[in-house]
Each structure stands twice: as C-alpha cells, then as structure tokens.
Structure 1
C-alpha cells in the first residue's frame, strides 16, 4: 500500500491536484483584487511633411506613384533579405582570424567614420554643470505600405456617411 502512495504516477497526480488548487486560489484572488492599470498604447508620432513637396500642378499621375511605391517595396524587401544574409555570413566571418581562406582574404581595417563619444560628452556636461546633453530626433523615415482595397459599394457608403 505504501508503494502506491510513493509511485511516480501518484506523485504526478498529487502535484497536478495541488497545481489545480493553487490556480483556483490565484484566480479567486485575481477576481477580487483591483485590476492592474492598463498599459498605455505606444504613441506613434507622425512626422510633418518635408518642405520640398510637389506642387499641385507638378504631381505625377497615380500609375507613376503606384509604380514607384511597388518598386520601393520590392527594393526594401530585397534589402531586408540581403541584410539577413549578410548578418548570417558575418556570424562566421567575425570569428575568423585575419588571413587568406581559399579565394577570399579576411582582414580588419580601421574605419574612417567618426561618431560623437556620448559618454565623454555627458561627463563633460556633468563636470561643467551644463545639465543634460541636448539631443535631436533623427530624420523621419519614409514608410510605404499597400492600402486595403475597399470594394466600390462600401466606398460609396463610407463617403455618403
């Protein structure tokens, strides 16, 4: 009889019953506890249009705009695929010591690009008591996406409303 109480199957059953009791108790507590405040949805800030837009008389035809948007989407998709391929190859190549590997030479060269050393700038601002480092937003990104197709009958109803 003692064997039945200590068998693995019985232990699993008892653990399952205990788990069910704990879940039931937790549900009961949640039902009487005040609800947690809902997380606010992130605000997507729409950037203003740039200054050099087409004038009304310069606007290209809709089919030209659609072709440009389709080309932009195709090129962006190719760029994403290329970036994924480049990252996958870089995982291997980054760990190689410099040298010749078959027809390929792997080497590391110093970049000529420079960027601001924000840690040093923050330390200087703090040392001089100038407050936080002034920052500005990056240029807005152009996003192009296909619009949902609204059947003509629904479009007429939406315009009439």
Structure 2
C-alpha cells in the first residue's frame, strides 16, 4: 500500500490536489493576491528558448517600437484567424463541388507540388532493418503575442 502512494503518478496527483486546496484557501483569504500571482506566473512562463539571433541588451529597440510591432502583429494575427475561419466555412461547400464553371467562378483542382515524408513506410523500414525509433526533431516554436495588464510595482 505504501509503495502505491510513492509512485511518481500518485505523487503528482497529490501535489496537484494540495495545490488546488492551497489556491482555494488563498482565494478566500486574499483573493486579489492569488489573481496577481497567477497573472505573473503566466507572464513569466517561457515555453521555448529565445532564437539564436535574439537582440542583446545593448541592441534592444525602444519599448514604444516593440509595443507598436506587438500591436500590429496581434491585429494581423486576428485578421488571419478571421480569414482562416471564413475560408474553412466556404471550403465546406466548395470542396464537395465537382470541377466546373459556377456563375463567374471556375472551380478546379490542381495537384500539389508539396511532399511530406511517409512516416509509416519509414517506420516499417527502420523496423525491418532494426534501426530503432525514427529520429524526429521539434518544429520551430510559434510566436505568441498577447496584451496583458501588468500590475504597477510599488516601491
């Protein structure tokens, strides 16, 4: 029984439950402090390393230029998401149409010139030759820009 309680999975579950209970107690005692702590955690969390050509502290642009670029990027990303949703909605109808002329619109299909690796065939080849798992590498990290309210620091 003691061994069951010592497994890493159980330990993570217990830590998670204790964290949830601690958050609940803090939300009753000092609700604003919990929200501020969670906001700061979200701001400081880094999920991928900085690029190799990141600005050094001497090269950093002015904060206003960074804010302008971030705002423009966020607006463009919103427009791109809106456009992607509109394209997906239209494709539901257009993908099922046979090729042809519809009013002033020609619907046709052309073969893609892009190719992707056939991972099933590669895995089978690796298995047949006894080479182990297929080596994989991570994709490039996605840039994420979001507006946050930073609490004023009291000195």
Residues 135/83 of structure 1: CA separation in 2 closer, same or farther (3 Å cut): same
More moved, 46-55 vs 94-103: 46-55
For residues 57 and 46 of structure 2, the distance between their equivalents in structure 1, rounded to whole angstroms, comes to 26
Size of the aligned set, in residue pairs, is 116
- Between the aligned partners of 1:40 and 1:137, the Cα distance in structure 2 is 29
Structure 1: 5+ residue stretches without partners: 1-36
What corresponds to 2:91 in structure 1?
A: 90
Deviation at 1:145, TM superposition (A): 1.1
Deviations 1:116-153 (A, max 9, x none): 01111011111111111111110011111112231x4x
Mark the CA change 1:40 to 1:91 in structure 2 (over 3 Å): closer, same or farther: farther
Uncovered stretches (5+) of structure 2, i.e. residues with no partner? 1-9, 17-44
Whose radius of gyration is greater, 1 or 2? 1
- After TM superposition, the structure 1 stretch with the greater mean CA deviation from structure 2, 120-129 or 141-150, is 141-150
Aligned mates of 2:79, 2:105 — CA distance in 1: 25
Q: Hey, what does 2:70 align to over in structure 1?
A: 69
**What's the RMSD between the two structures over aligned residues?**
2.1
The whole-number CA distance in structure 1 between the counterparts of 2:77 and 2:55 is 23
Aligned to 2:133: 132
Indicate the SS of the match to 1:57: coil
Deviations 1:57-97 (A, max 9, x none): 32111111000000011000000000000000000000000
TM-score (norm 2): 0.69
Q: 1:67, 1:45 → 2: CA distance? A: 22
Equivalent residues in 2 for 1:8-157 (5 A)?
Answer: 38=13, 46-150=47-151, 152=152, 155-156=153-154
Match of 2:31 in 1: none
Distance 1:56 1:45 in 2: 18
